[in-house]
Structure 1
Amino acid sequence: MNHELFTIAVLYFTSFFAIINPLGVMPVFMTMTADLTDKQRRKTALKAVFTAFITLLLFAFSGQLMFRFFGISVDGFRVVGGIIFFIMGFDLLQARISKIKMDEEMVKKYVDDISVTPLGIPIIAGPGAITNAIVLMEDSAHLSLKFILILTIIFTLGLTYVVLLGAGKIGKLLGETGNKITMKLMGLIMMVIAVEFFFAGLKPILQSIFQITPVS
């Protein structure tokens, strides 16, 4: 039985790790926090991970109910996530973030803003991770499996936090010019991802509206 639970835990972990992709989150975090101090960067990472944890936990336990009550679909999440990604990617492409000079109060507000959106949601806790949490919670028939799922989410987000902390050292190695180049590159990549997100969500919605049968 213990071996079976371990196998399930590994499957849960690999699915969340692949979807959240901490290594893919790191360059975005690095560019968005390039002008922050190490302490501010740690605070941002912690708030982003905590936001993602609360979001995944909330949807895991009440996702289907919330979806039905508000009439929300996963495809709708993808469309909105795509729009948010595109706006953020465009700002990164223009290297606007590095040009912002902020006082202490502005920095605090900036950290709070980006910690929740877009870092916490939808970059870490995106449509894929939210859907995965809902599906796995429904599949976890026993209390022990639900407990393993929660521990798996905590472990994955803990690893994400550790990876984000390493972004600061990489940023220092790259320097200001390297950060700007990385920022523009990530902006371009994020805009491409945004388009993929947007149309991945829009296609099923249009098929449903026009009653088009998907081609296998």
Structure 2
Amino acid sequence: MTDYIAAFTTLFVIIDPIGLTPLFVALTHGASAQLRRKIALRACITAAVILFCFGIFGEALLGFVGISMPAFRIAGGVLLFLTALEMLFQKRQTRRQGHTDDAAEDHIDDPSVFPIAIPLIAGPGAIATMILLTDQAEGIGGFAAVMSVMLSVLLIVFILFLVSNMLERILGRVGVNVVTRILGMLLAALAIQFILDGLRSFGLAP
């Protein structure tokens, strides 16, 4: 149960559904409620397929290119820590907003695949997290638990997308910033734990 909660917390923080909702509003501005539902569903399904594939084949891909899991665990921890710093200093939202601007400049009518599914939901951090979590999972039951965690987080993303206008009005810009910083602190601690686990595999940490 503790591992399940830790996996859920890690993936929830790195995907950051609350931080995604204002961007979803911006990308679907002027769209009807029905079209927003279609975009939200398509984006979440696409992200689920991407994360599922990396969860299954990610470790094999690392082995093919000669990267050990402890090394990837350290690299993933560093990546998550940098993401946490961006969240704490509000740089992540600015970078994500840049993706929305790129989409607008390219006149993309359907933003579900780019930039919502990739890279806003299934970005490098989420992909690295899936590989790390599936590596730590024990047996088929553990793997199924990780996949259920991923689907649970994406279900939350989908629900928040559907109520994004209302949520943004309730929290306001200040509320979103506060929640983002709290999640950033949690992610920083989880990232350090990944790094320590990797160093422990090399005998460099107690």
Bin the TM-score by the shorter chain.
0.5 to 0.7
Matched, 1:116 2:113: yes
Q: Which residue of 2 aligns with 1:48?
A: 43
Which amino acid is 1:131 matched to?
A: A
Distance, in Å, in 1 between the alignment partners of 2:112 and 2:101 is 19
- Distance change >3 Å, CA 68–CA 163, structure 1 → 2: same
Q: Which residue of 1 aligns with 2:189?
A: none
Matched, 1:125 2:105: no
Q: Is the 8 A contact 1:26 1:167 kept in 2?
A: yes
Q: Is the 8 A contact 2:59 2:135 kept in 1?
A: no
For residues 137-179 of structure 1, give each alpha carbon's deviation from its aligned partner in whole angstroms, at most 9, with x where no partner exists. 01112211111111111111001100010124468x7xxxxxx
In the TM superposition, residue 8 of structure 1 has moved relative to its aligned partner by 1.4
Distance, in Å, in 1 between the alignment partners of 2:120 and 2:131 is 17
Q: Is the 8 A contact 1:41 1:168 kept in 2?
A: no
For residues 107-158 of structure 1, give each alpha carbon's deviation from its aligned partner in whole angstroms, at most 9, with x where no partner exists. xx722xx111110011011111111100110111221111111111111100
Larger Rg: 1
Alignment of 1:27-176 (within 5 A): 27-67=22-62, 85=96, 88-91=99-102, 110-111=109-110, 114-169=111-166
Unpaired segments of 5 or more residues in structure 2?
81-91, 174-206
In the TM superposition, residue 67 of structure 1 has moved relative to its aligned partner by 4.8
For residues 75-95 of structure 1, give each alpha carbon's deviation from its aligned partner in whole angstroms, at most 9, with x where no partner exists. 9x99xxx9x957535458xx8
Matched residue count: 151
Which amino acid is 1:56 matched to?
A: L
Distance, in Å, in 2 between the alignment partners of 1:70 and 1:25 is 33
TM-score of the superposed pair, with normalisation by structure 1: 0.59
Q: Which residue of 2 aligns with 1:176?
A: none
**Percent same amino acid among aligned pairs?**
29
Q: CA RMSD for the aligned pairs?
A: 3.5
- Distance change >3 Å, CA 9–CA 170, structure 1 → 2: closer
Q: Is the 8 A contact 1:38 1:168 kept in 2?
A: no
TM-score of the superposed pair, with normalisation by structure 2: 0.62
Q: Which residue of 1 aligns with 2:183?
A: none
Distance, in Å, in 2 between the alignment partners of 1:47 and 1:59 is 19
Distance, in Å, in 2 between the alignment partners of 1:150 and 1:55 is 12
In the TM superposition, residue 64 of structure 1 has moved relative to its aligned partner by 3.0
